[in-house]
């Protein structure tokens, strides 16, 4: 095949593999979790104040590597593939007078997303499917790669253990627009909803009352998970993180279901 030995044995180098690089990713993760509406310029300023001066291009590269973008009050898509078909956003019909999405029963709307999880000497990616009504986590998976196999495996697990939803809502990330992911939804007769990640997303701010995040249920869960579990425990390995996050998920789902029952019975 006329392939050189160097090409055959070449392995793509991880651009964020050193201890210093991972420290940068961890700091950005903390800043972004607290202020998801911060863009690379504001994150860079905060990093400088925290004693971590870094160039603008490096911050942009790190955020892209983590799969995150600032949440703006105007259309701005997440990392997407130009070749993949995009589907319309279907949750407008569920918005109340305050512009907030209100779903009236379980398995009506599911949402999903991926988030960065720090480890002592590395990092991983966590994908999860959440029910918009009950706020329960229906399936989740932790992986060292952020590709379509991560998102499809979580989707398949959720569908294997729960009644299928009417609508499945995601952003326009390439993992969700990929044929492998779309095919699963089409085969199950599930309506596909995609929002440009970040539309009207300042509702995580205390001073933005009444505004809406189009995937807010999963965004809020990520924040809760990190502040209540990931940051305090500082997981060392992927195995340890899987065990700890799994225990947290079980507790969260139990408390969420009980709280939901109380709100409906009170």
What is the average pLDDT score of the chain?
A: 82
Residue 202 has pLDDT above 50, yes or no: no
Considering only residues 149 and 8, tell me which one the structure prediction assigns the higher pLDDT: 149
Tokens 């600032």 -> residue = 70
Tokens 């959440």 -> residue = 130
User: Model confidence at 24, in pLDDT bands (50, 70, 90)?
Assistant: very high
Q: Tell me the average pLDDT across 18-37.
A: 88
Q: How far apart are CA 96 and CA 76, in angstroms?
A: 23
Query: Does 3.30.420.10 match the CATH number of domain 91-265?
Result: yes
- For residue 205, the model assigns a pLDDT of 39
Q: How far apart are CA 163 and CA 188, in angstroms?
A: 11
- For residue 76, the model assigns a pLDDT of 36
- For residue 203, the model assigns a pLDDT of 36
Q: How far apart are CA 223 and CA 219, in angstroms?
A: 7
CB count, 10 Å around CB of 155? 26
Considering only residues 8 and 144, tell me which one the structure prediction assigns the higher pLDDT: 144
- For residue 86, the model assigns a pLDDT of 79
Reported as a single tens digit per residue, the pLDDT across 99-112 is 888 999 999 999 99
The DSSP bridge partners found for residue 101 are 95
Distances from the Cα of 180 to the Cαs of 115, 148, 152, 176, 187, in angstroms? 20, 7, 7, 9, 11
- For residue 10, the model assigns a pLDDT of 42
The DSSP bridge partners found for residue 131 are 110
Q: Tell me the average pLDDT across 51-79.
A: 73
Phi, psi dihedral angles at 171 (to 5 degrees): -90, -170
Residue 40's H or E segment, with its range, is helix 40-49
- For residue 74, the model assigns a pLDDT of 38
Residues in the chain: 266
Q: Are 72 and 35 in contact (CB under 8 A)?
A: no
């Amino acid at each position: 095949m006329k392939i050189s030995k160097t090409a055959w044995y070449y392995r793509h180098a991880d651009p964020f593999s050193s201890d210093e690089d991972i420290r940068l990713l961890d700091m950005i993760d903390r800043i972004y979790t607290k202020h998801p509406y911060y863009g690379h310029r504001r994150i860079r300023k905060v990093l400088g104040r925290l004693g971590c001066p870094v160039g603008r291009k490096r911050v942009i590269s790190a955020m892209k590597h983590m799969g995150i973008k600032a949440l703006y009050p105007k259309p701005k898509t997440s990392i997407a593939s130009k070749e993949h078909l995009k589907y319309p956003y279907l949750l407008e019909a569920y918005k109340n007078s305050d512009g907030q999405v209100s779903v009236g029963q379980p398995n009506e709307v599911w949402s999903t997303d991926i988030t960065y999880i720090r480890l002592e000497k590395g990092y991983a990616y966590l994908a999860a499917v959440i029910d918009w009504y009950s706020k329960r986590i229906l399936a989740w998976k932790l992986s060292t790669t952020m590709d379509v196999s991560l998102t499809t495996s979580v989707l398949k697990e959720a569908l294997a253990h729960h009644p299928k939803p009417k609508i499945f809502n995601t952003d326009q990330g390439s993992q969700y627009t990929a044929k492998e992911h779309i095919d699963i939804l089409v085969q199950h007769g599930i309506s596909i909803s995609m929002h440009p990640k970040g539309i009207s997303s300042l509702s995580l701010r205390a001073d933005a009352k009444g505004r809406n995040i189009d995937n807010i249920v999963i965004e809020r869960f990520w924040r809760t998970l990190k502040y209540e579990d990931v940051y305090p425990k500082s997981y060392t390995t992927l195995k340890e993180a899987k065990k700890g996050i799994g225990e947290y998920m079980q507790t969260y789902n139990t408390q969420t279901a009980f709280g939901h029952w109380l709100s409906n019975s009170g």
